[in-house]
């Protein structure tokens, strides 16, 4: 079990060390838009009124 925990720690640490932070204004705008769109889709994705689709759910 300790080996699995250590391996998981190494994976998370590697991810954090190699994560690229966007500091440019254009990159920031793109990421902010993607984040907002993802948030909206997760909450209202297939809703016929708020989800941005014209289809209605059956049922």
Place of tokens 């708020």: 50
Write down the H helix ranges in 1-59: 2-18, 25-44
Longest Cα–Cα distance of the chain, Å, equals 51
Would you state the pLDDT for residue 21? 77
Residue, of 15 and 49, whose pLDDT is higher: 15
Rounded Cα distance, 15 and 48, in Å? 38
Would you state the pLDDT for residue 55? 53
Token digits of residue 16: 């954090």
User: Can you say how many angstroms the Cα of residue 24 is from the centroid of all Cα atoms in its chain?
Assistant: 19
Average pLDDT, the chain: 81
Q: Is the pLDDT of residue 46 over 80?
A: no
């Amino acid at each position: 079990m300790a080996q699995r925990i250590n391996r998981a720690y190494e994976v998370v640490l590697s991810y954090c060390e190699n994560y690229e932070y966007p500091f440019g204004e254009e990159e920031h705008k793109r990421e902010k838009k993607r984040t907002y769109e993802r948030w909206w889709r997760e909450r209202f994705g297939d809703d016929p009124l708020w989800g941005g689709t014209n289809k209605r759910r059956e049922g």
